[in-house]
Structure 1
Amino acid sequence: MKNTQPNNLNETEIDSKLVNLKNQRRSKLLFTSVLTLCAAAIVVACGGSGSSSAPSNGGSTGGTNPGGGTSTGTGNGNTTVVGPPWLSFGGNPQHEAVTTVATQSFGKIAWQTPVDLAPQYSSQGYLLVHYGSPVITAKNTVILPVKTSAGLSYRFEARDGATGDLIWSETSDYVMPSHRWTPTYNVTIAPNNKVYAAGAGGKVLYRDDADAKNGTTKSIVFYGDTAYNANKTALDAAIIINTPITADVNNNVYFGFTATPGNPAGLVSGVARIGSDGKTSWVSTAAITGNTNISKVATNSAIAVSRDGKTIYVVANNNFLANTRQTGSLLALDSGTLALKSSVQLIDPLEKGPANVSDDSTASPLVGPDGDVYIGVLEKSYGTHNARGWLLHFNADLSQSKTPGSFGWDDTPSIVPASIVPSYKGASTYLLMVKYNNYERAGSGDGMNQIAIIDPHTEETDKLSTVKVMKEVLTMLGPTPDPAVPGGFIEWCVNTAAVDPFTKSVIVNSEDGNLYRWDLTTNKLTEKIRLTSGLGESYTPTAVGPDGKVYAINNAVVFAVGK
């Protein structure tokens, strides 16, 4: 719905402002980073291409090739279970981002490899690309989405978590949706160890065994192979999977897609399901909501699944158009039939109007242990909350809006068991870990960029407005002064952060080029390891392997940190 407020910035202006929040301070930071790089011999160059201890793709061919080319590497394929897997963005279908194995100490960078072979930087050195989360099998196979060219071509590759050696690689024919910030290309592992990735024309590529070196890559089209094969060229351009794929505990998968009007298959943008039995279905978001302003699933926003598996939560918005504000709703759909169970419009709690549900964001629904649902949005009018947005909060059937959080922009909160925060004396059984930046050139932001632990069931008055928000339990200021913002600190660089209950800590990435461990018992940063010389970039995830290695992305490279 077009924003009619005369004092509201249009979408292009908002994008420029959001970029400038970082870019206006980057020239000094990048100069400092170059000096740091040269002096300390950092392992990744400022150009972002990096180097890898893993070998390049092998030349032997394995399996069929619907995506464009399968390669096997020197790795043998993993056969022994090591520990619990990390299946998706946020680790599981609820996106909790809680590891069930203790993380290793930050002893060294065990291995590293690029996730972008042709990173495209802005004129001021900013990297406007959202990179997909590493996913890791129980046998310690790390599967990575990799951008292979400036033209947005992709592959997904499997590497041995112990060594980084390449096990297999598959080229995808996926066509990335056109957008100002490069959207996310993700891979997902189902509990049955099938790995899924998007292909062109709405088809889904998959391998039955994510660990097998010589496995076969197959494909399935949610609207039917016959319809796709009859008009392949036209449908490759018209139908685009625009969200990460989510798998539930019963091995059903879900995703959003966009469809160009008048396409040969007669599809309308919406939600698709591929059952564990191979049966497929889809629904149009506009049709099931009866709202023509809800035209598609929000780009980059991963569908979440309720804890009982009966409901999926989908963020839907209107198409991106220049000079408009994207608005939207949170939908609860029946996980089997995709019928609409309930919906709620996403409203700015300060301005009392439609919040900005931006395709620039990767914010995805989080389902809490009690079934409550959380989703981050931007404010209705740019800058009214220092471009922090809001974390909206609902009960499971979306009939009740609850206390919001004071930050929501491009962030999916992580679950923090209350028992791992000794200083917490409240009644909640779980807390939330969120990014908590305070952007220095939006509203009255001061550049005091933080991360925070907040209580979703206790409220206090927001420090930036009159809104009652989730109470702060702990906060951690960025440790590195920002040379371009007097008194300010460089941003935390996460869109989902791994929580480790065993060490009572959070693993979090920073734009200063370091990976940090935030100890929740002492409220101190107790470990850090330098990954790069630092770079302004789109926010990135952290993940944990079954052996406790930590994975973080910085400057177009994924780093495996541990022993």
Structure 2
Amino acid sequence: MTTFNSVFAKSAWDKSKRRVSLTLATTVTIASIVAACGGSGGGNTVTPLPGNGNGTGTVNPNPVGPPWLSHGANAQHDGLSAVATQSFSRIVWQAPVDVAPKYSTQGYLLVHYGSPVITAKNTVILPVKSAADLVYRFEARNGNDGKLLWSENSDYIMPAHRWTPAYNVTLAANNRLYAPGAGGKVLYREDADASSGTLKSLVFYGEAVYNANKAAMDKAVMINTPITIDTQNNIYFGFIAAAGNPAGLSSGVARIAADGKASWVSVANLAPGTGVAKPATNSAFAVSKDQKTLYVVTNDNIATGVRQTGYLLALDTASLALKSKVQLIDPNENGAANISDDSTASPLVGPDGDVYIGVLEKTYGSHNARGWLLHFNADLSQTKLPGSFGWDDTPSIVPANLVPSYKGNSSYLLMVKYNNYERAGSGNGMNEIAIIDPHNAQDDEFANVKTMKEVITMLAPTPDPNVPGGFIEWCINTAAVDPFTKSVIVNSEDGFLYRWDLSTNMLSEKIRLTSGLGESYTPTAVGADGKVYAINNAILFAIGK
């Protein structure tokens, strides 16, 4: 039987090397690779603050604000906060998301950590990688002081992989919490705020089949995407199934309705003849605003020496029937883009129904390893203007009125990471974040194509002493946008969290989290009370007054 060690053979695409030195609290030298933010090595520790601990906490009995439900806040992944964020006065509390982080020989922390989710009553639930390698739990903490409210162990089995994929939790509007379990099970807890509760499970291919073949199914089936929830509390997720498993599954898309009825469809049957074999690992599905369409990124299995390619599928949310599909194409090389399992890029659904997805370029480094942000209409029948950066990034929605300097005709803009990776004869290390216009064009700086027009950009603030003229990278895979303060909350590899003020195009606030770290890109999120959450060096930080 094929196991996950063979399904997730190491990716062979080349690493971009450079020397980086941070001169903040510590100075170390490491080799940088694209999408591992170059910074200081694995020796950093953060002193625990009072109130971050393991005691019994209490929950405010009255809702204090809107919830943050998933990667990018919701099923469209738009990153928009529904509450004003607090000022960066202090680190209010902190808690580990990995109790035994493992660093590469170069000092990198190549682990994707899932976004915290926050209930309306300000309970923060975070996935935690336990001491045992690739074993997880999820725990709830009081958003006021970080005190532990409850914790649940997961039996989820993580595959061996060059970069550790993210383990995610997802919150439904009815306050039920979902998390992946072993063998394709979905674990759930009815009330995420309750201090006590029973952890239950759902099996999309049938509990009887699972119970009769538990050991085999645990080895053969794995949920490989975050769980996505629509407004009717139906859940969707991708899974990988090894050949010959007792349930007769092949890698595909599963749906479990709010009433518990389940269905699934294989990716190979959805897109025959395309070469795709599974949902892209780490890429969360997205749901259209009208709740009728499910967007799924698919790719082929990892093979040594071969870059993964893929398609974007639009499925009917009720039946999982294919509505349309489109191959993900590099707009510069006019060939299949790289849809890497190392990326967490997920589809973004815009207010007008347009769909955006980040990819890597066909030939590694041909676009400075920036990739592309591909852009389609809602039914995927029209390929629209691409963006000039897509690697390991889910863009966020920025209502156009948040940027006073914008004089164009688009009702919304996109906030994206905009790094320009330093490689010999390629990027120059001028790493930026950007607000771009999805409907108006400019000439791309690095290729002979038209791309989304830059509205404003922000150069990274910390010079890189080992890249002449370069600056230390921004380190995000989805960024929270605060429309109330007209700002974006972004992490940097220099160890600081920044507020980017869109009114002034200035970094108006910053707070040091660590001395800096080379790591997989990380999310920012906003709590129900306006606290800001960011991950750095395997620690979740709660920032506020």
Same fold (TM over 0.5): yes
1:243-322 aligned at under 5 Å gives the runs 243-291=225-273, 293-322=275-304
2:336 aligns to what SS in structure 1?
Answer: coil
Deviations 1:377-436 (A, max 9, x none): 000001110000000000000000000000000000000000010000000000000000
Matches of 1:50 and 1:466, distance apart in 2: 49
1:39 corresponding residue in structure 2: none
Alpha carbons 1:342, 1:398 under 8 Å: kept:
yes
Alignment of 1:438 onto 2:420: yes
Q: CA deviation at 1:291?
A: 3.0
1:14 corresponding residue in structure 2: 13
Q: CA deviation at 1:216?
A: 1.2
Alpha carbons 1:383, 1:443 under 8 Å: kept:
no
Q: Which residue identity is paired with 2:365?
A: G
Q: Which residue identity is paired with 1:108?
A: R
Alpha carbons 1:48, 1:119 under 8 Å: kept:
no
Q: CA deviation at 1:123?
A: 1.2
1:34 aligns to what SS in structure 2?
Answer: coil
2:48 corresponding residue in structure 1: 51
1:25 corresponding residue in structure 2: 19
1:14 aligns to what SS in structure 2?
Answer: coil
Deviations 1:333-392 (A, max 9, x none): 000110000000000000000000000000000000000000000000011100000000
Q: Which residue identity is paired with 1:209?
A: D
Q: Which residue identity is paired with 1:407?
A: F
Q: CA deviation at 1:149?
A: 2.4
Alpha carbons 2:358, 2:373 under 8 Å: kept:
yes
Question: Which residue of 84, 89, 99 corresponds with 2:66?
Answer: 84
Q: CA deviation at 1:47?
A: 3.6
Alignment of 1:327 onto 2:309: yes
Question: Which residue of 235, 240, 248 corresponds with 2:222?
Answer: 240
2:26 aligns to what SS in structure 1?
Answer: helix
Matches of 1:398 and 1:35, distance apart in 2: 48
1:307-456 aligned at under 5 Å gives the runs 307-441=289-423, 443-456=425-438
TM normalised by structure 1 equals 0.91
2:126 aligns to what SS in structure 1?
Answer: strand
1:199-218 aligned at under 5 Å gives the runs 199-218=181-200
1:471-550 aligned at under 5 Å gives the runs 471-550=453-532
2:26 corresponding residue in structure 1: 34
2:35 corresponding residue in structure 1: none
More helix by share: 1
Give identity over the alignment, percent: 71
Matches of 1:541 and 1:283, distance apart in 2: 30
Q: Which residue identity is paired with 2:222?
A: I
Q: 1:516 to 1:219 in 2, by over 3 A?
A: same
1:469 corresponding residue in structure 2: 451
Matches of 2:111 and 2:12, distance apart in 1: 19
2:15 aligns to what SS in structure 1?
Answer: helix
Alpha carbons 1:383, 1:442 under 8 Å: kept:
no
Question: Which residue of 117, 121, 128 corresponds with 1:146?
Answer: 128
Alpha carbons 1:272, 1:280 under 8 Å: kept:
yes
Matches of 1:52 and 1:240, distance apart in 2: 37
2:37 corresponding residue in structure 1: none
Q: 1:50 to 1:182 in 2, by over 3 A?
A: farther
Q: 1:140 to 1:45 in 2, by over 3 A?
A: farther
Matches of 2:208 and 2:161, distance apart in 1: 30
Matches of 1:35 and 1:345, distance apart in 2: 44
Matches of 1:15 and 1:364, distance apart in 2: 23
Alignment of 1:95 onto 2:87: no
Q: CA deviation at 1:179?
A: 1.2
Matches of 1:173 and 1:87, distance apart in 2: 22
Alpha carbons 2:142, 2:149 under 8 Å: kept:
yes
Alpha carbons 2:14, 2:364 under 8 Å: kept:
no
After TM superposition, the runs of 4+ consecutive aligned structure 1 residues lying more than 6 A away are none
Gaps of 5+ in 1: 1-9, 37-43, 58-72
Alpha carbons 2:287, 2:294 under 8 Å: kept:
yes
1:551 aligns to what SS in structure 2?
Answer: strand
2:119 corresponding residue in structure 1: 137
Q: CA deviation at 1:51?
A: 3.1
Gaps of 5+ in 2: 1-8, 29-40
Alignment of 1:170 onto 2:152: yes
Q: CA deviation at 1:34?
A: 1.9
Q: 1:111 to 1:195 in 2, by over 3 A?
A: same
Q: CA deviation at 1:321?
A: 1.5
Deviations 1:238-276 (A, max 9, x none): 100001111111101111000000011110000111111
1:7 corresponding residue in structure 2: none
2:84 aligns to what SS in structure 1?
Answer: coil
1:522 aligns to what SS in structure 2?
Answer: coil
Matches of 1:486 and 1:257, distance apart in 2: 44
Matches of 2:49 and 2:152, distance apart in 1: 18
Range with bigger deviation, 419-428 or 141-150: 141-150
Q: CA deviation at 1:77?
A: 4.2
Q: 1:11 to 1:209 in 2, by over 3 A?
A: closer
1:60 corresponding residue in structure 2: none
2:63 aligns to what SS in structure 1?
Answer: coil
Matches of 2:193 and 2:351, distance apart in 1: 30
Alpha carbons 1:49, 1:114 under 8 Å: kept:
no
2:330 aligns to what SS in structure 1?
Answer: coil
Alignment of 1:155 onto 2:155: no
